[in-house]
A and B are shown apart, each in its own frame.
Chain A
Amino acid sequence: MFKTVKKYLQKDFSWIPSENPTHSYPSLTGKLLLRHEIPLEDEIVDHLIAQTILTKVTSIESYPWAYRCRRCGNTKSYMFAKMPHATCGQTCVYCRFCIQMGRVVACEPLYYGSSGFEWPLHEHPCQWKGELTVHQQKAADELVALVRTGKGEKLVWAVCGAGKTEILFRSITEALKNGKRICLATPRTDVVRELLPRLQKSFPKVNIQALYGDSPDKAGDAPFIIATTHQLLRFAHAFDVMVIDEVDAFPFHNDASLHYASERAAKPQASMIYLTATPRKKQKRRIRSKDLPVVFIPQRFHGHPLPVPQLKLTPALHRYLQKAELHPKILQQIAHQQQTPRQLLLFLPSVKMAEQIAEYLKERNYEVRSVHAEDRGRAGKIQAFRKKEYRVLVTTTILERGVTFPSVDVYVIDAGHVVFDEAALVQIAGRAGRSPDDPKGDVIFYHVGKTDEMLDAVDSIHYMNRLGRKL
């Protein structure tokens, strides 16, 4: 009884077979799949099971008081349901949480593919010729050491625009030289799309695959995988090096299933690297209690300090927003800003408001476009903004991170709204001054009263700037 309770409360991966025989099926290695996701004939599958290259595992753990889906780790009772299952003739439990990726039914097993595939060794995989700053160098050294030793964790706390990706190059090189498998996971599809060409350019001879919801590649049979965290639901004990970018970002930070999947996707002896500019409270607590080793990069790669947000009180803000208009003071500021060569990023708390304000500015003859999460043409609009085809981009928090525009000013309208938490505000402020040619940028938070989140964000930026000066 005590054992069952313990097993339920802890994340227990002892059901994954520890013996991993070598084989020649890269698309099965380190995978946790449903039968219809394995594109092989029944006979071949039976043959692979006999050789323990594939292992059938129970898909849903059953406890007297609850269930747990082994693919997504879901234990919420309202996310399980029963149905009369025509295939087996009985009433079966299925998981509703990860049903988007194909239904997991209790009577059908999951197939674990042995992670024994041997990946090619690369002699000199990295073609990147850039220089690292002192801070970057120090972080890169520590990460290489971690990859060499294997098991361990490390958080890289780097300001926005520190050049996080470049820090990874040496540890990636180290892993590829030893035939280790790497996964770079991030919560956001946009980031995966942006990273793939950059990494392919730096590692031209390595087979790099990008996996996301509607990616052209679906096989997941490469030694180096860039994926959204959702894709990790199909992996188990697959990676020797696991990098999670933007650990604090939505939806990763508040979705237990993604934590479950990313822990399972790493091998028991894997090196875990977390990257973030704005750690959440939970991570900060672990850092303070010395439970999570951390390395700081408090300065941007161009060496200039982060722009500090100005807080501007505009008491009538909400009254104007309700009429789908902007406060005359803000309008004046925008008119003034538009005289300068910099573009303008305008953040609003909701999709509806973003669209209304874009419309409002359009009437005033500004070159404006708006983007939000459900926007089909998002990628195109962002690309056009980067190419300076128009002047003002009105957006929701969707663009708070992962996108880089060389020279912009950033205004947040109604910064006291609940969607703008500390992490979001720090990230938004981090959009300004990204390029060495224009390392400054105005960041203005318009509000109707300072919130703790705003003050914390400003404090955190000051703190990093101070650290950067000291070193």
Chain B
Amino acid sequence: MRVGKCYFCSSPIYPGHGIAFARNDAKLFHFCRSKCHKNFNLKRNPRKVRWTKAFRKVHGKEMTVDTTFEMEKRRNRPVKYDRDLVGTTLRAMQRASEVQEKRAELHYVNRMAAHKVKAAVRARVEIKESVDLIESSEAVKEAVMVDKLEAQKQKVNI
């Protein structure tokens, strides 16, 4: 029993799920659900369909190169069972998935960093342009100025 991988969306296919298509050149295509199967039949390219893993990887939304990925590799050579080795492997798998999660988070943060800066800039522009809409703007404006000053000071200190 193996957990397969969907040809279209790359999600895991548990035993008893999904459908497989054998092309006349003997290539097998596994699909996790009818949605993926239908999309394949529509000749859609998974790299161009936004909701697939392939799209996300191609467009830099997710990690593609990482040492944790290298640990998982399909090995077609049978290995004799060894309790110690399997035990270590299971622990390693857990550890690897933890690490992978963290790295994914870092990847996300890095990806969003520029966006956050942009959003802040936009917000400041908006404040500047439309602060007059709010009553008692004077007091708030002053508060903002104080904040800015402090921020500048901090930067200088660092």
Tell whether A pairs with B: no
- The residues of A with any CB-CB pair to B shorter than 8 Å are none
* Interface set of B (CB-CB < 8 Å, partner A): none
